[in-house]
Amino acid sequence: MKQNAPNIKIVSLRICITVVILTVLSVLLFSFSVDKFYEDLFSQLGIEKTEADKKITNSILGGYLDAYGLKNVKQIALGNRAVVASRTMDN
């Protein structure tokens, strides 16, 4: 029994190290794709990042949804992909 205890500790240590390494790698890979996602999101909404930050802050602090000036919100909500794509290409 005493010989199995060190083997169990080594196996569990290897599993923990593998999980940590995989987690770090996945975070690094996703961090590069997040910027592209937000650029696409802002271009679809028809606003800049700074303006979006202000709208988010106003919505949180004011207790309401600040959607004034968002050009494509109605089309996105309705699922009109063709209209949103054509307006995004025009900008």
Question: Which pLDDT does position 21 carry in this prediction?
Answer: 94
Residue 45 CB neighbour total at 10 angstroms: 20
Question: Which pLDDT does position 43 carry in this prediction?
Answer: 74
Q: Is residue 68 over pLDDT 70?
A: yes
How many structural domains compose the chain?
1
Question: Which pLDDT does position 18 carry in this prediction?
Answer: 95
Cβ partners under 8 Å of residue 59, min gap 6 = 65, 66
Confidence category of residue 48, pLDDT binned at 50, 70, 90: confident
Confidence category of residue 73, pLDDT binned at 50, 70, 90: low
Q: Note down the domain range covering 77.
A: 4-90
Question: Which pLDDT does position 22 carry in this prediction?
Answer: 94
